[in-house]
Amino acid sequence: MPPAQNSAPLSLSDRYSNFINQIITDTLKGKIRSKEYVYKQLVEQLEPRTGEIFERCLTAQGELIQGKLEVETDELKRAKAERQKRALRTLQDAWERYQQTQQRQETCDDAVSQLINADTSDRISILLQILDPNQTCVFNRQDIELLAKELDQVQEPDADETTVAELHSMATGLKQGLSSYSAIEIHLVEWLYGSPGKNLGFGGKSAANNPWNHWANHVNRPLPKMLFQGQAVNQSALLLAQQQTTVDLTAWVELIVLLRGMQNGLVVWFDKQPYSFQAGRNLAAATFLAFATVWSELSKGFEQAQQLPEVDRHRLSRGCFQITLQILRAFAQRDNFPLYGGVLASFSGENSRDTIAYLDQPLKAIAKTQEKARILTILGYSQQWIGNREQAKAFYEEALELARQASDQTCEVANLNHLSRWNLSQREFAAAIDYGQRALLFSRQSGDVLGETNAIANLGYAEVRQAQQQEYITPLELEPCIQRLERGLKLAEKHQDFFCEVFCALGLGIAHLISDQTSTAKSYLEKSLNLSTKIGNLELQGLSHAAIAEATYQLNQLASAVVYACLGMYLLEQKQAKESQQAANLVTILQGRLGEEEFKQILQQQRSYIVARISVDGFDYLLNL
């Protein structure tokens, strides 16, 4: 009898089906120790480029089990089928994990290949493209670790000696960057708790609530320490780059990874912060702008680093510029992009550098109209905040045109509102009303509630201020303005929009003053003063003080009127606001009624209150009127 022939080898499909059945059987028998065990078994069984075959087998087995469940009526058999389904789910999870791992590995292999084949002058730029946070597949910490490991393993003859050395330097920089971030990560937001009640941000004089100073104490590497120490004293990063005499590629790659991690960590924390959604959103926006500015300054500094070879100056400057663009694009794409202000208060201190000077060039390089319009909007109101009114207007007008081109109606409405508010600051009430009406119309058409709230506040306030200029107006004529502002105030309170609350409360106060309802007016004006102080807007504080001075004067509370009128006049003069003259006129009237001695006596009695608001210098100025 001839010997039995060996059976034909199983096809891949049969092998994979048997493996799937074996995993299910072993699971039901209690032989499977963990999900990790299933994953390791899967990795051992799969052959390269056969994933589609395995997935078909997995799907077929799932359909078979589901079919049993749909027709089976026996409870014991149904229970077994349910257990088989759960066992298969474990294998499906392992398969999904395997696919993700393979995809990451392929992405990493492709990245290594790109870096090997890149020209030396382009290699930093290629690395930054790989790490770009705006890609569909974003490199996380584990991916960067894998990339560093793969780059470390590149040897000749895969690449020439110079390329191998540069790739190894990059690998070391990636690893050191992750290590530096791990060290600073636990201290990332500690600075927020250093000065309770003070303004938070990236630029003040005080070291206590200055994050850069805090972070400098928690890094050991020389380059990030120097950068952070410079930022802590409001020194441009341009100087750091400008003074470089050699290029330590490892150190600069480390800084790229470290700052990337810090920026992401801060934004995530601010987005989730517990104490105020609005404050968190503003600080997240401030983070994007702060880090974009640092990289833009470094780019400008490398352009001027005369002690570096030209090729190094160019590639490092271009790399820093590339990071700036990446940050700005990521910022502009956020769903909660802050179109209505609050950012600059968090972003810049009293001696802040001119952000626009450093972001102007990157903005010109942004091709996407919508992104550019949104960033110009935020920079526009930042300029208005610090008093650069003409620059602010130019940004608003450009942003408005770009928003229209991009059909971004939310951004268009925001800039109509900003232009309305800009005209309010110039006492151009007719223009403010025109912009406000257009913003209100478009916001209602598109269902933009925040835009509508701002439009109502601007329009109502502008109408009241225009009415204030008339020689005679009846309470009946003011009633529509009052109703509009009351609705705006409710909306602003609902959405925690403090600026709109101030405009509505201030407008209501002035309207009731005109209508001789002085006590009601005073109540609204006290609200506007408290809110404007809270948000730190000196011009609105000045307007609120000046209006309360009028109310207290009408109520014959002359001592209070003196304090409010003097504060209003001083604050409005500091902001070069046209309303300062009206407050000054009231001060003159009060001096005449009270006499010089009693007037100064009132100021002395209220010295601590006044100094707390305008400093000793401001108080001395008032005494010498």
Which comes out higher in pLDDT, residue 456 or 341? 456
**What is the model's pLDDT at position 8?**
58
Cα separation, 320 vs 302, in Å, equals: 9
Residue 352 confidence (pLDDT): 38
Q: What is the pLDDT of residue 46?
A: 92
Task: Kindly report the length of the chain.
Answer: 625
Rounded to 10°, the helix 249-272/161-185 angle is: 30
| Range scoring the smallest mean pLDDT among 97-111, 352-366, 522-536 | 352-366
Token pair of 370 as six digits: 């919508």
Of the candidates 564, 571, 563, which has an alpha carbon nearest to the alpha carbon of residue 548?
564
**200, pLDDT greater than 60:** no
Q: Given this model, what pLDDT does residue 274 score?
A: 58
Q: Averaged over 580-605, what is the pLDDT?
A: 93
* 101-118: average pLDDT: 93
556: left (phi over 0), alpha (psi -120 to 50) or beta: left
Burial class (CB in 10 A: 0-12, 13-18, 19+), 501: buried
Residues 6+ apart with CB under 8 A from 319: 124, 125, 128, 252, 299
Q: DSSP H helical segments within 9-133, as ranges?
A: 12-28, 35-45, 51-71, 75-117, 123-130
pLDDT tens track for 227-252: 999 999 988 899 999 999 999 999 99
Position 311 scores a pLDDT of 93
Tell me the torsion sign for CA atoms 565, 570, 571, 573.
positive
User: By the 8 A CB rule, do 73 and 109 touch?
Assistant: no
pLDDT, tens digit, for every residue of 252-266? 999 999 999 999 999
Confidence (pLDDT) at 357: 52
| Tokens encoding 412 | 């268009």
Q: What does the pLDDT average to over 286-297?
A: 88
CA 72 to CA 81: how far, in whole Å? 9
Cis peptide upstream of residue 3 (ω within 30 degrees of 0): no
pLDDT value, residue 397: 96
Nearest to 243 by CA among 260, 258, 218, 226: 226
| pLDDT at res. 325 | 82
Tell me the three state secondary structure of residue 204.
coil
Q: Where are the alpha helices (DSSP H) in 273-428?
A: 277-303, 310-332, 343-347, 355-365, 369-385, 389-405, 409-425
Whether 362 shows a pLDDT value over 80: the answer reads: no
Q: What's the pLDDT score for residue 237? A: 93
The residue behind tokens 């105030």 is: 489
Is pLDDT at 205 greater than 80 in this prediction?
no
Confidence of residue 32 (pLDDT cuts 50, 70, 90): confident
Question: Confidence class of residue 10 from pLDDT cuts 50, 70 and 90?
Answer: confident
Write the single-letter amino acid at 302: F
Mean of pLDDT values over 9-30: 91
Q: Is the pLDDT of residue 482 over 60?
A: yes
Nearest to 624 by CA among 595, 605, 606, 603: 603
pLDDT beyond 90 at 567 = yes
CA distances from 454 to 127, 276, 412, 467 (A): 43, 20, 13, 20
Contacts of 348 (CB under 8 A, 6+ apart): 201, 202, 203, 355, 382, 386
pLDDT score of 118 more than 50: yes
Average of per-residue pLDDT values in the chain: 88
Backbone angles phi, psi at 295, to 5 degrees: -70, -35
pLDDT in tens, 267-284: 999 888 755 556 677 788
Contacts of 182 (CB under 8 A, 6+ apart): none
Question: Both tokens of residue 551?
Answer: 């109310």
Least confident of 48-52, 348-352, 444-448, 621-625: 348-352
Q: Which of 425, 417, 482, 402 is nearest to 450 (CA)?
A: 417
Judged by average pLDDT, the poorest of 306-310, 351-355, 500-504, 543-547 is 351-355
Coil, strand, or helix at residue 408? coil
Tell me if 389 sits within 8 A of 423, measured CB to CB. no
Buried b (16+ CB within 10 A) or exposed e, 276-286: eeebbbbbbbb
Q: Which two tokens stand for residue 451?
A: 């835009």
> What pLDDT sits at residue 584?
94
DSSP character at residue 46: P
- CA 369 vs. chain centroid, Å, equals 19
Question: Six-digit token pair at 156?
Answer: 């000749």
Q: Which helix (H) or strand (E) holds 179?
A: helix 161-185
Quick one: which of 177, 169, 215, 167 has its CA closest to 194? Answer: 215
Buried/exposed 566-602: b ≥16 CB within 10 Å, e otherwise: bbbbbbbbbbebebbebbbebbeebbeebeeeebbeb
158-198 pLDDT per residue, tens: 889 999 999 999 999 999 999 999 999 999 988 877 654 44
Range of lowest pLDDT (22-36, 336-350, 420-434, 591-605)? 336-350
Longest dimension (CA), the chain: 135
pTM for this entry: 0.69
CB atoms within 10 A of CB 484: 22
Contact 131, 260 (CB under 8 A): yes
Percent of the chain with pLDDT over 90: 65
Q: What is the pLDDT of residue 196?
A: 47
In this prediction, residue 156 has a pLDDT band, given cuts at 50, 70 and 90, of: confident
Q: Tell me the C-alpha distance between 294 and 289, whole Å.
A: 9
Which uninterrupted H or E stretch holds 511? helix 498-514
Phi, psi torsion values for 140, nearest 5 degrees? -95, -170
The amino acid that residue 373 corresponds to is A
More confident call, 608 vs 289 = 608
Residues 6+ away with beta carbon under 8 Å from 388: none
Residue type (1 letter), 120: T
Q: What's the CA gap between 377 and 392, in Å, rounded?
A: 9
Cβ atoms 499, 532 nearer than 8 A:
no
Confidence at 349, pLDDT banded by 50, 70, 90: very low
